[in-house]
Structure 1
Amino acid sequence: MKKKIGLLLAMLAALVMMVGVFGNPTSAQAADSSLAKIQKKGVLVMGTSPDYPPYEFQATVKGKSAVVGMDVKIGEKVAKDLGVKLKIKSMSFDSLLVALQTGKVDMIISGMNPTPARRKNVDFTHTYYKGGYEIVINKTDKGKYKNKDSFGGGTLGAQTGTTQYNAAKKQTKNTKVKGMTSQSDLILALQSHKLDGVAMEKPSAEAYVSNNKQLAAIPSNFSMSSSATSSAIAFRKGSTSLVNKVNQTVDQIKKENLVKKDYLPAAGKYLKTNTVNTSMGHYWKAFLTGIEYTLIITVCSVFFGFIIGVLLALARLGKGNFLKSLLRWIATAYVEFIRGTPMMVQVMFVYFGLGLFVNLPALTSGIIAISLNSGAYVAEYIRGGINSVDIGQTEAARSLGMSNGETMRFVVLPQALKNIWPSLGNEFITLIKDSSIVSIIGVTELIYQSNIVRSDTYRGVAPIVVIMVLYFILTFTASRILNYFERKMQHA
């Protein structure tokens, strides 16, 4: 599944590049304006994947969850030197490059290695940090594993889209390599013995081990180039003036050794703060925020999805002149296409693809994508409900002098709605759960919030149990409400 997602993101990135090349012939001439545009806008949007301590991770700061870490400190320094404000946008690591190319973020600071393959698509600054790789294992296996060559017949995990993932694929023998989008997911899989080890950068490995007594770290012995073990800031291709300006900041950071002297120690303090109180009750605000966004997405998607579904169903039932036939063909094609593609791809397309033309917020993009998806399914429910109404009802209404529109509105649709209410209720329940998909673009619903708690506390199972219970409460409550209205309609 992760490989498919990575392939889809790669294809989307290629499409973005093609549009940029053929749709914007003046991009080369506009390269020197990249710095001026940021300074004029007054805001620098930093893309990051906050599940990679001590580079970037979530912590509770003054009662609120915030993204912290040494990369955030670097981002703040860059923004200050540019004379602009820093805005942090969180998303999965393998979505960052696409977000940069589509203009969702202005730069990426996420422990990203400036490999030759990545340099073809984005511009990098000078490297600001050079580390290495280690493999995190369960402490009970410390005598069993010594390095990457010890995992023959076992399973080694790594974050998809990273250089350590590629190294694990190429430099291990008889070892199954499994990729996941989140470091916290990898650690959970390790502790539940789904993985035998997790390859990650040395500072991150040390952060997890120092905060979890059940884990240990061993040398990886990966053979890596200098670029694959260094971190740099990524900017959109052609941002020459912006990169040159930021290089001055990076060079100052290295000259004054700010990463080791200030930024890493500051990150370490937040790591210790996270483990002071790791009870789930301590994070009730995070879960409450997740419920709020889950309900917003669900209610809005149900409302707009129902409207779209009614229009599509009526279009598919239309017969007669050329216009009605055309609308029927369009509606049929839409329904088949939406039902034939994964919702996850649709969410990414709305957020990243349409982002080339309209800069939609993540929440808005998620609502649009889920509404469009729901509309296709609702259309089929309504079409089936309309066809289930006896033709005699229509004939009786027309004999009383009612027009086609009045017949549909006052006679057919009310009866159809009564027939399809259980199906519509099921769609509503499904949307509550499907709203979790929008977490991949950074919408702070329940799944996203659970990942924050897992990153904060280094506890893998407890947050999952909490959101399972919360999802059940939401769906059970919604089911009881829908059943109440169903009984009311049956007695009407």
Structure 2
Amino acid sequence: MTLCLSLLFLFTIQPSHSITTTTAYAADNSLQRVKARGKIVMATSPDYPPYEFQVSKNGKSEVVGMDVDIMKQVAKDLGVKLVVKSMSFSNVLVAVETGKADVAMSGINPTPERRQSVDFSEIYYNGGQSFLINKTDAGKYTSKASLAHKIIGAQTGTLQYNLAKSKIPGAQVKGMDKNTDLVLALKTHKIDALGIETPSAEAYVKNDPDLKMIKSGYSLNKNDTGSAMALKKGSGTLVAAINKSITKIKAKGLPNQYLAQAGKYMKVNTHNTSMFHYWTYFAKGIEYTLLISAISVIFGVLLGTILALMRFSKSKIFHAISIAYVEFVRGTPLMVQVMFVYFGIGIVVNLPALLSGIIAVSLNSGAYVEEIIRGGINSVDKGQTEASASLGLAKTDTMRFVVLPQALKNIWPALGNEFVSLVKESSIVSIIGVTDLIYQLNIVRADTYRGVMPVFVAMIIYFVMTFILTRVLNYFEGRMKHAK
């Protein structure tokens, strides 16, 4: 079943060259589908001011920025409600390809490579390309030519990354998923310059006196380098309707007005950049982290116990299933499993991001718990089962009343370590937009332009959570040792 879903996922996201554009559009009902639902879903990565970022309004977090304002106008023209779905930048196009969102909008450049996988609207804004450098290096780096053979940072999978590789001689390009991480790398001199769109570069310079902007000097085709909306292949009717809105928006000069509005929001964010001011963000992150961890622990233990019992079953089928499951899960990264559950299985069943994260983490934990329980069962002396058999106990009763209680005492430290690890490993769900602690950390970094302090706060929070959990587990371990 898993293999079938994997193949389905892979084939679904590949561009179809066997169907002509005319045929695809003839069968296209993308606009009708959006209007029938009464909403249009926008996938975005809200860590890219002034295009999209988060602010706290009336005690609630809200995604704002030029892209959001443009999309609101498009939704108004279509007569539907706008729903914003947040996730990492590397997943916004996948969200469109797999039907998780109708539109991806995150300062996306419609490059020829991306056009092979998704449809694009007309360009709605062209801000140009620039570099961010440290102000102390202003005399050293003055143009693109001066960056030759230097370390250039850029967001992975972006136009800026490809431009740095192809147009700066001898450049060593370092890619990261988040611009906030790249800015931190720049300020700590891990990279010499950061390739970024001009509006975002200007936003960072206005809010960080240690940074300076220089023009890129690239000679580019504006049709490939401006910002456009990405839609699923074959969404011709929806693209046409969106293009009508974009034409009106540009004619009225609204993008520049929206940028000015974004600037006002950014000033609100940077008016008070103390971590205490953003305590609600961290509190929400803690809430989701603990929720995911607690539920995943319960289902992980249940699944692990079932798999362990299957491993000891005389049925060759159950035995094989248990081994195959554990080997497969332990042989693939948790991040890939999270993305597969959300995007891959989401093709068949449209699961929410939070539920997808819980399922993926639970399934992953179950495989490791199975190995812990299996080791615990093996550690119980065989004489115990022989004695139980001599007393006339059935095998199920022997396992339930004799073996498992003794095994639990033996595996409790290892099981506790798995619980503690789960609290930390659950942070991976942030890539699909679950607002856990890591997700909130990146939002605070983007909003405040402070690279280190939010990381430090999150590190302390994780330590406090795991320290308390460790003390609780140690308490129960002591109770077990003294129990007769």
TM-score of the superposed pair, with normalisation by structure 1: 0.94
Contact 1:13 1:98 in 2 (8 A): no
* Structure 2 unmatched runs, 5+: 1-6
**Residue 287 to residue 12, structure 1, CA distance change in 2 (3 Å):** farther
1:155 aligns with 2:146: no
User: 1:466 and 1:110 mapped to 2: Cα distance?
Assistant: 27
CA deviations on 1:428-484 (whole Å, 9 max, x unpaired) are 000011011111111111110011111111000010000000000000000000000
Match of 1:3 in 2: none
User: Partner residue of 1:232?
Assistant: 228
Q: 1:38 to 1:160 in 2, by over 3 A?
A: same
Q: Alpha-carbon deviations, 1:406-443, whole Å to 9, x = none?
A: 11111111111110000000000000110111111111
Q: How far apart, in 2, do the equivalents of 1:299 and 1:367 lie?
A: 10
| Aligned counterpart, 1:60 | 56
Matched, 1:359 2:354: no
Aligned residue pairs total: 475
Q: Deviations over 1:204-240 (max 9, x none)?
A: 1001001111100011112322123211111111111
Q: Within the alignment, does 1:171 sit opposite 2:167 as a pair? A: yes
Q: Map 1:220-299 onto structure 2 (within 5 A).
A: 220-260=216-256, 262-299=257-294
2:111/2:225 contact within 8 Å kept: no
Contact 2:120 2:239 in 1 (8 A): yes
C-alpha distance in 2 between matches for 1:66 and 1:472: 28
Partner Cα distance (1:147, 1:213) in 2: 20
Q: How far apart are residue 488 of structure 1 and its match?
A: 0.3
Q: Paired residue for 1:474, among 465, 468, 471?
A: 465
Q: SS where residue 85 of structure 2 aligns?
A: strand
AA matched with 1:94 = S
Code of the residue aligned with 2:108 in structure 1: it is M
Matches within 5 A, 1:192-211: 192-211=188-207
Q: Secondary structure at the match of 1:127?
A: coil
1-structure distance, mates of 2:317, 2:8: 30
Return the offset for 1:74.
Answer: 0.6
Partner Cα separation in structure 1 for residue 16 and residue 96 of structure 2: 12
Alpha-carbon distance in structure 2 between the residues aligned to 1:476 and 1:190: 33
The alpha-carbon distance between structure 1 residues 350 and 444, as it changes in their structure 2 partners (threshold 3 A), is: same
Aligned-residue offset at 1:20: 7.8
Structure 1 segments, 4+ long, off by >4 Å, are 11-14, 18-22
Secondary structure at the aligned position of 1:129 is classed as coil
- Cα offset for 1:63? 2.2
- TM norm structure 2: 0.95
Matched AA of 1:471: Y
**C-alpha contact 1:12 1:98 (8 A) present in aligned 2:** no
Paired with 1:20 and 1:104, the residues of 2 have a C-alpha distance of 19
* Whole-Å separation in 2 of the counterparts to 1:380 and 1:366: 22
One-letter code aligned to 1:194: K
Q: 1:220 to 1:20 in 2, by over 3 A?
A: closer
Structure 1 unpaired stretches of 5+: 1-10
Q: 1:372 aligns with which of 346, 358, 363?
A: 363
Residue 94 (structure 1) shift: 1.5
Instruction: Give the match for residue 325 of structure 1.
Output: 316
Equivalent residues of 1:31, 1:241 under 8 A apart: no
- CA shift, 1:344, in A, is 0.8
8 Å CA contact 1:394, 1:411 repeated in 2 = yes
Match of 1:70 in 2: 66
Secondary structure of the residue that 1:216 maps to in structure 2? strand
Deviation of 1:257 after TM superposition, in Å, equals: 1.1
Question: Comparing 110-119 with 458-467, which one deviates more in the overlay?
Answer: 110-119
* Alpha-carbon shift at residue 318 of structure 1 (Å): 1.5
Q: Give the Cα–Cα distance (whole angstroms) in 1 for the partners of residues 57 and 180 of structure 2.
A: 20
Q: In 1, Cα distance between the equivalents of 2:86 and 2:17?
A: 27
Other structure's SS at 2:250 match? helix
Backbone CA RMSD of aligned residues: 1.9
* Counterpart position of 1:98: 94
Q: Which residue of structure 2 lines up, in the alignment, with residue 438 of structure 1?
A: 429
Residues 1:451 and 2:446 are matched in the alignment: no
Is 1:313 the equivalent of 2:308?
yes
Instruction: Tell me if the contact between 1:31 and 1:240 (Cα under 8 Å) persists in the aligned partners.
Output: no
Tell me if structure 1 keeps the 8 A contact 2:25–2:237: no
Q: In structure 2, what is the equivalent of residue 125 of structure 1?
A: 121
CA distance in structure 2 between the aligned counterparts of 1:19 and 1:152, rounded to whole angstroms: 36
Conservation of the 8 A alpha-carbon contact between 1:310 and 1:378: yes
The match for 2:137 among 136, 141, 150 is 141
Secondary structure at 2:83 match in 1: strand
Distance in 2, Cα, partners of 1:422 & 1:227: 59
CA–CA distance in 2 between the matches of 1:129 and 1:21? 30
Q: What residue is the counterpart of 2:480 in the other structure?
A: 489
Give the Cα separation in 1 of the matches to 2:56 and 2:121: 30
Could you tell me how far apart the structure 2 residues matched to 1:235 and 1:421 are? 50
Shift of 1:327: 1.1
| 1:114 equivalenced with 2:129 (yes/no) | no
Looking at structure 1, the residues matched to 16 and 319 of structure 2 have their Cα atoms a distance apart, in angstroms, of 35
Partner in structure 2 of residue 384 of structure 1: 375
Q: Partner letter of residue 373 of structure 2?
A: I
Distance 2:136 2:9 in 1: 42
Identical counterparts, % of pairs: 59
In the alignment, does 2:296 pair up with 1:301?
A: yes
8 Å CA contact 1:31, 1:239 repeated in 2: no
Q: Which amino acid aligns with 2:57?
A: V
Distance 1:30 1:365, change over 3 A: farther
Deviation at 1:399, TM superposition (A): 2.0
Check whether the contact 1:16–1:353 (CA below 8 A) recurs between aligned residues: no
Q: Within 1, Cα distance between the matches of 2:220 and 2:385?
A: 74
Residue 408 (structure 1) aligns with: 399
**Which deviates further from its counterpart, 418-427 or 237-246?**
237-246
| Amino acid in the other structure paired with 1:339 | R
Amino acid at match of 2:387: A
**Residue deviations 1:2-39, cap 9 Å, x none?**
xxxxxxxxx998533359899xxxx9377431111111
